[in-house]
Amino acid sequence: MAWFKRQSGELDPSGEKKIRTEGLWVKCDNCRQIIWKKDLEENLNVCPKCDKHFRIDARTRLAQLLDDGKYEIFDNNLSSTDPLKFVDLKPYSSRLKRAQADTELTDAVINAHGKLNGRSVIMSSMEYAFIGGSMGAVVGEVITRAIEKAGDTQTPLIIISASGGARMMEGVISLMQLAKISAALARLDELKVPYISVLTDPTTGGVTASFAMLGDLNIAEPGALIGFAGPRVIEQTIRQKLPPGFQRSEFLLEHGMLDAVVHRRDLKAYLGRALDFMAKAA
C-alpha cells in the first residue's frame, strides 16, 4: 500500500502544488505538516496546524453551507459544443470529456437551491477541478440562469467562485460571458434581490473582472489568490518583485477591494447574518 502517490501529468498553471487527495495522509504545502486526511476533512479541509484553507470541490462546498447538506440541483444538463473546434496540446473536446468523467459534472459550475439557516437561497458553486473552473459559454449561461431564477423567485443569490478566469478554448465567446452575467446582475439589483459573492482560492481573470466583484457583499476565504492577471504574469511584465501577500485576500481587504475575509468555519453563520440584515433592510 502506497501512502503517497507520485504526481504526474500536466503542469499546474497556478504554479502551486496540488494536494494529494488519495492515501491516508496529506502534507500541508504551507506548514509542511503531515495531517491525517480524516482530521483534515473533519476540520472542513482547513489545516488544523496552520489554518491553510485547502481547495474543496463544488459539491462539498454546497454540503458545508446548505442546511443538512441538502439541496436541489438545477440546470445541470448543459455542456459545451466546442464552437471553435479548438485544439491546443490536445483537442478541447477531449479535455471536456476527461473533465466530465473526472468530476461527473457537465461543466465547471453547479446551480443549487436549498436553505441556509432556514432561509431559501440560490447558490452557484464553481468547480476548480473542471478545466481550472474556467468560464465558457456554459458556465456563463448556468450562472445567468441562477441569477434570473433568483430574480423571478425573489430569492437571495450566493455565488462561490473558484476559477482561473475565462476559458481560452472558447475565445471571444468566453469573454462575452462577462457582459452577459454582469447585465443579468444589474437586473437583479433593480429587483432588489441580494447577491453575495464568495471568493475562494483561486479567483482570477474574467471571473474577478465580472461577477465575483459585483456582489452587494464581496467576501473571501483567508489566503485565497484573487486577482486579474496572476502575480507571475505581472512580475514578468513590470520586471519588479511584488510585495509579499500581493493578491491574497488579506491584502485586498486592507486595500478596500473586499468587504470581509471570513474563516471557513464561520462562513455559513456569516452568510446567514448578512442575509438577515439585508432582509431587514429591505
Query: Residue 119, interface with Zn ion (CB under 5 A)?
Result: no
Which of 26, 28, 65, 175 forms a contact with Zn ion (CB under 5 A)?
A: 28
Taking the least distance from each CB to Zn ion, the nearer of 24 and 191 is 24
Cell 462546498 identifies what position? 61
CB of 39 to Zn ion, least distance (A): 11
CB of 32 to Zn ion, least distance (A): 7
Taking the least distance from each CB to Zn ion, the nearer of 47 and 166 is 47
Distance CA 96, CA 46 (A): 30
Collect all residues with Cβ–Cβ distance below 8 Å to 149 and sequence separation of at least 6: 74, 111, 113, 122, 155
Query: Residue 30, interface with Zn ion (CB under 5 A)?
Result: yes
CB atoms closer than 10 angstroms to residue 145:
17
Cell 507520485 identifies what position? 6
CB atoms closer than 10 angstroms to residue 101:
8
CB atoms closer than 10 angstroms to residue 227:
21
CB of 61 to Zn ion, least distance (A): 20
Distances (CA, A) of 5 to 16, 22, 35, 36, 255: 17, 7, 15, 15, 40
Query: Residue 50, interface with Zn ion (CB under 5 A)?
Result: yes
Taking the least distance from each CB to Zn ion, the nearer of 47 and 261 is 47
CB of 19 to Zn ion, least distance (A): 11
Which range touches Zn ion (CB under 5 A), out of 2-10, 46-54, 71-79, 193-201? 46-54
Q: Which of 165, 275, 166 is nearest to 215 (CA)?
A: 275
Taking the least distance from each CB to Zn ion, the nearer of 52 and 59 is 52
CB of 224 to Zn ion, least distance (A): 15
User: What mask, x for binding Zn ion by CB under 5 A, covers residues 51 to 70?
Assistant: -x------------------
Which of 31, 179, 233, 242 forms a contact with Zn ion (CB under 5 A)?
A: 31
For residue 47, the number of C-alpha atoms closer than 13 Å in the C-beta half-sphere is 20
Which of 26, 40, 46, 47 forms a contact with Zn ion (CB under 5 A)?
A: 47
CB of 22 to Zn ion, least distance (A): 19
Which of 27, 37, 49, 149 forms a contact with Zn ion (CB under 5 A)?
A: 49
Are β-strands 195-203 and 217-220 bridged in parallel, bridged antiparallel, or unpaired?
parallel
Taking the least distance from each CB to Zn ion, the nearer of 46 and 193 is 46
User: Count of residues binding Zn ion (CB under 5 A)?
Assistant: 7
Query: Residues 145 to 174: which contact Zn ion by CB under 5 A?
Result: none
Q: Where are the alpha helices (DSSP H) in 45-136?
A: 58-65, 92-103
Q: Which of 158, 101, 164, 104 is nearest to 132 (CA)?
A: 164
Q: Which residues bind Zn ion (CB under 5 A)?
A: 28, 30-31, 47, 49-50, 52
